């Protein structure tokens, strides 16, 4: 007897049948049965662990389904289906206004029906009679082996124009049965194109070393179940996947520079794709909440990249995780805003949704699959949703007006003069005399601004930035000039917001405190006889307000952030006003000026987001609740209190 504890019960019958087909049981020596049996059980059990069938979802919500039905079957003028005669004719059957409702996990298709019958004599219709109402069909979606989705009707209802159950006279009922029901029963949707797009995309997310595994997965694609629930029809795309044993990089291992560069390049492609993805949304239809969520996801992704790069140099699965997280948060917006217009390429959108959902499903199947986000894969997805002819995903630092529009940030920050494109420029510090009167500086600035194009551009640029170099000795004149600039910029930016006017003074104090904390009011520094823009210690942020170049890519112009102090200050003021409205005020539930302690807390909340991104706010709160505020928070609070109490003599600590 074979002990029961050595066998998996669910596999016992399978083994005995298989064994009897190969070798008669009586021919197996008794002493070998135990060994062979246990080994076979082990193989079968191992296979069940290492190989599995994954269901990749192809989801059609009622809105997208309606658009696809209109595109396929309501192709006559005004998105109608003329089944007999013509619209406005003496004899006609016209369908219009189709819609799908998923009720109690059942699919209900409804369409408006207009039937007119009469006798035509010339252009005159004699004895016209008509019926107008609705036909509702309860249907079961069915998918065949060729990926054609059809709908089997199991129940029908007829309603009058007031959506009340109606009894239709025999003549019209016969027309409904012979024309309307017959036409609707023939409607199908070909899902083969989005499935093929999924194959192309899936091939791209497997590295070259795993293409054999990819081909096995793609070759196993087949239709599975069709489920109807929660406003969505989901068609399963079944795929057989097996886990591959892969060498993993542990967190403590130091990456080679080549690997870090590859990580940066991959992330930059993903970020460029992300911008393409969100700018493909119909911006005029987005509401304020949707714009805010998109901005949140974008900023979180970019700040997380900066943190990842500084902490570990970049992990192989970081971009894939960002893709999955971003899609999880934004997919409802894309499905809602991109699937309601049949005039759009809804099949391409379905392919885009399906490929994105599939990446999530494959990721859940296990890390052993080895899937990665590739440039070609992202380009493929971008082509599905963009109206542009996309051949690449460049990572550019120019202002993207479409991006600003989608995010609800308004018109780009204006600039009146060209910016310098370089890392440094030779300047003689003696050219600037801090003791000169302000009126003389203004006169010089006016003539320089009007004549710069007629002179050496580099010299004109030197003359523009020289007044913003910190002079040796007494810095009060310089400080007062920068304070004046910041007050003017903050007042102008605040006037364009819808913030409570009572917060104006607080906002100006916040701007001054931030500039003090970030750079000690400096836009430029001198190094070896050359002037250059001030960079952060980690080389991510620039200028007087330390605008992060990657985080705000496409929203502000790179060179003007570096070389134009007014432009940089304006960008910083815009960001502070955005964070004040979006995070500061809602967090404190405060709309007025409040008490001194309230305003200090409000300033700290806004600065916590400004310095570390939206996700940093929770960390700041946790530290505060534990009574262990961070060093940066303490330093900012110190600057804020100095600004509020006019302790400008403290500037000597950093200038």
Least confident among 125-129, 134-138, 514-518: 125-129
Mean pLDDT of 270-291: 94
Among the ranges given (12-26, 131-145, 351-365), the one the predictor scored with the smallest mean pLDDT: 12-26
Burial 482-502 (b: 16+ CB within 10 A, else e): bbebbeebbeebbeebebeee
Q: Is 191 helix (H, G, I), strand (E, B) or coil?
A: coil
Cα 413 from Cα 416, distance rounded (Å): 10
Residue 1, pLDDT score? 43
| Exposure string for 237-258, b = 16+ CB within 10 A, e = fewer | bebebebeeeeeeeeeeebeee
| Confidence class for position 126, pLDDT limits 50, 70, 90 | confident
Q: What is the structure's pLDDT at 38?
A: 46
Q: What's the pLDDT tens digit per position in 546-602?
A: 999 999 999 999 999 999 999 999 999 999 999 999 999 987 764 444 556 689 999
Higher per-residue pLDDT: 317 or 145: 145
- Identify the pLDDT of residue 23: 39
3-class DSSP assignment, residue 295: helix
Whether residue 454 has pLDDT greater than 80:
no
* Residue 638 Cα distances to 50, 412, 641, angstroms: 58, 33, 5
Residue 132 has pLDDT above 90, yes or no: yes
The reported pLDDT for the residue numbered 429 is: 57
**Given pLDDT bands bounded at 50, 70 and 90, which one contains residue 650?**
very high
How far are the Cα atoms of 294, 324, 629 from residue 307, in angstroms, in the given order? 20, 18, 20
d(CA 588, CA 2): 71
Contact assessment for residue 214 and residue 202, using Cβ atoms and an 8 Å cutoff: yes
Handedness of CA 20, 23, 26, 30 (dihedral sign): negative
Q: What pLDDT sits at residue 43?
A: 44
Residues 6+ apart with CB under 8 A from 217: 202, 239, 240, 241
- Residue keyed to tokens 């302000």: 438
Of 441 and 480, more confident: 480
Q: What is the pLDDT of residue 8?
A: 34
- pLDDT on residue 348: 92
* 522: Cβ contacts below 8 Å, ≥ 6 apart: 470, 534, 544, 655
Among 17-21, 175-179, 340-344, which range has the highest average pLDDT? 175-179
- For residue 19, the Cα-to-chain-centroid distance in whole angstroms is 54
How confident is the model at residue 373, as a pLDDT? 79
pTM of the model: 0.82
Confidence check: pLDDT of 303 > 60: yes
Task: Tell me how far the alpha carbon of residue 8 is from its chain's centroid.
Answer: 47
**Any idea which of 186-190, 405-409, 413-417, 651-655 has the lowest mean pLDDT?**
413-417
Q: Which residues pair with 112 in a beta bridge?
A: 96, 134
Tell me the β-bridge partners of 107: 102, 139
- Least confident span in 45-49, 225-229, 356-360: 45-49
What tokens were used for 396? Answer: 């550019």
Architecture of domain 425-653: Orthogonal Bundle (1.10)
What confidence score (pLDDT) does residue 647 get?
96
The domain made up of 58-190 has a fold known as Bactericidal permeability-increasing protein; domain 1 (3.15.10)
pLDDT score of 265 = 92
- Going from N- to C-terminal start, the domains of the chain cover 4-50, 58-190, 256-407, 425-653
Question: Cβ(168)–Cβ(176) under 8 Å?
Answer: yes
| pLDDT computed for residue 9 by the predictor | 36
621 phi/psi in degrees, rounded to 5: -65, -40
3-state secondary structure (DSSP) of residue 356: helix
Mean pLDDT (the chain, rounded): 84
Per-state percent for the chain, helix, strand, coil, to nearest 5:
55, 20, 30
| Angle of helix 504-519 versus helix 565-579 axis, rounded to 10 | 120
Helix, strand or coil for residue 250? Answer: coil
User: Which DSSP symbol is given to 93?
Assistant: E
CA atoms within 13 A on the CB side of 536: 15
92-95: long-range contacts, CB 8 A cutoff, minimum separation 24: 92/116, 93/175, 93/179, 93/180, 95/180, 95/183
Residues 171/178, Cβ–Cβ less than 8 Å: no
pLDDT at 446: 46
Residue at token pair 């102090």: 565
Helices (H), 427-475: 438-451, 457-465
Q: Which pLDDT tens digit goes with each residue over 186-217?
A: 999 999 999 999 998 888 888 787 788 888 88
Instruction: Single out the residue of 389, 407, 641 nearest to residue 512, CA to CA.
Output: 641
Q: Which of 93, 178, 103, 164 has its CA nearest to residue 134? A: 164
- Token pair, residue 29, equals 């020596």
d(Cα 292, Cα 259) in Å, to the nearest integer? 34
When pLDDT is cut at 50, 70 and 90, the band that residue 283 belongs to is confident
Q: Which of 82, 85, 88 is nearest to 180 (CA)?
A: 82
Residue 180 neighbours by CB under 8 Å, 6+ apart: 83, 93, 95, 111, 113, 135
pLDDT tens digits for 247-258? 444 444 556 788
Q: Collapsing DSSP states into helix, strand and coil, what is residue 77?
A: coil
Residue-wise pLDDT for 601-615, tens only, equals: 999 999 999 998 888
Residue 190 backbone class (left: φ over 0; alpha: ψ -120 to 50; beta: rest): beta
Structural contact between residues 343 and 68, judged by C-beta atoms closer than 8 angstroms = no
Residue 580: predicted pLDDT: 95
The predicted-structure confidence for 5-47, as pLDDT tens digits, reads as follows: 334 333 333 322 333 333 343 444 444 555 544 444 444 444 4
Looking at residues 333-360, what average pLDDT do you find?
A: 90
438, pLDDT greater than 70: no
The more confident residue out of 335 and 367 is 335
If you ran DSSP here, which 8-state letter would residue 100 be given? E
């Amino acid at each position: 007897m074979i002990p029961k504890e050595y066998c998996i019960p669910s596999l016992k019958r399978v083994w005995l049948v298989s064994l009897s087909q190969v070798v008669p049981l009586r021919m197996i020596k008794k002493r070998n049965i135990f060994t062979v049996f246990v080994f076979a059980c082990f193989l079968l059990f191992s296979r069940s662990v290492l190989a599995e069938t994954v269901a990749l979802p192809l989801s059609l919500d009622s809105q997208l389904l309606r658009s696809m039905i209109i595109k396929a079957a309501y192709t006559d003028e005004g998105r109608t289906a003329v089944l007999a005669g013509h619209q406005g004719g003496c004899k006609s059957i016209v369908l219009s206004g189709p819609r799908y409702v998923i009720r109690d996990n059942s699919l209900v298709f409804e369409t408006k029906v207009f039937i007119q019958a009469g006798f035509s004599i010339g252009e005159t219709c004699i004895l016209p009679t008509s019926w107008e109402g609705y036909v509702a069909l309860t249907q079961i979606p069915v998918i065949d082996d060729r990926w054609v989705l059809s709908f089997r009707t199991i129940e029908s209802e007829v309603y009058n124009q007031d959506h009340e159950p109606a009894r239709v006279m025999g003549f019209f009922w016969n027309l409904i049965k012979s024309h309307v029901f017959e036409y609707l029963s023939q409607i199908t949707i070909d899902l083969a194109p989005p499935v093929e797009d999924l194959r192309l995309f899936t091939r791209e997310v497997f590295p070259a070393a795993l293409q054999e595994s990819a081909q096995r997965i793609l070759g196993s694609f087949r239709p599975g179940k069709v489920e109807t629930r929660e406003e969505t029809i989901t068609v399963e795309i079944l795929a057989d996947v097996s886990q591959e044993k892969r060498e993993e990089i542990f967190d403590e291992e130091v990456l080679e520079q080549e690997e870090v560069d590859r990580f940066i390049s991959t992330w930059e492609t993903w970020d460029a794709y992300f911008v393409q993805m969100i700018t493909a949304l119909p911006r005029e239809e987005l509401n304020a909440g949707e714009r805010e969520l998109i901005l949140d996801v974008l900023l979180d992704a970019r700040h997380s990249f900066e943190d990842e790069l500084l902490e570990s140099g970049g992990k192989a699965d970081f971009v894939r995780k960002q893709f999955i997280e971003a899609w999880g948060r934004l997919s409802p917006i894309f499905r809602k805003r991109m699937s309601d217009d049949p005039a759009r390429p809804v099949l391409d959108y379905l392919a885009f949704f399906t490929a994105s959902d599939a990446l999530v499903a494959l990721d859940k199947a296990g890390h052993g699959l080895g899937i990665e986000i590739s440039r070609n894969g992202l380009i493929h997805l971008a082509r599905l949703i963009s109206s542009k002819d996309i051949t690449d995903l460049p990572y550019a630092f120019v202002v993207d007006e479409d991006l600003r529009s989608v995010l609800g940030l308004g018109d780009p920050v204006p600039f009146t003069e060209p910016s310098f494109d370089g890392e440094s420029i030779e300047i003689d510090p003696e050219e600037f005399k801090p003791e000169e009167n302000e009126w003389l500086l203004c006169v010089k600035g006016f003539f320089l601004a009007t004549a710069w194009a007629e002179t050496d551009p580099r010299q004109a640029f030197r003359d523009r930035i020289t007044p913003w170099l910190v002079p040796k000795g007494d810095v009060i004149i310089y400080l007062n000039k920068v304070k004046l600039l910041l007050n003017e910029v903050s007042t102008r930016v605040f006037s364009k917001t819808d913030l409570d006017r009572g917060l104006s003074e607080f906002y100006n104090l916040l701007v001054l405190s931030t500039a003090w904390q970030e750079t000690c009011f400096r836009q430029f520094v001198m190094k070896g006889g050359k002037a250059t823009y001030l960079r952060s210690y980690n080389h991510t942020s620039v200028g007087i307000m330390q605008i992060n170049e990657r985080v705000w890519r496409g929203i502000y112009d790179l060179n003007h952030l570096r070389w134009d102090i007014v432009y940089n200050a304006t960008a910083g003021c815009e960001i502070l006003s955005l964070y004040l409205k979006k995070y500061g005020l809602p967090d404190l539930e405060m709309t007025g000026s409040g008490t001194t302690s309230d305003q200090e807390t409000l300033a700290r909340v806004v600065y916590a987001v400004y310095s570390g991104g939206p996700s940093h706010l929770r960390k700041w709160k946790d530290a505060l609740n534990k009574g262990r505020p961070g060093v940066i928070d303490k330093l900012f609070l110190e600057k804020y209190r100095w600004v509020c109490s006019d302790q400008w003599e403290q500037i000597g600590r950093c200038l």
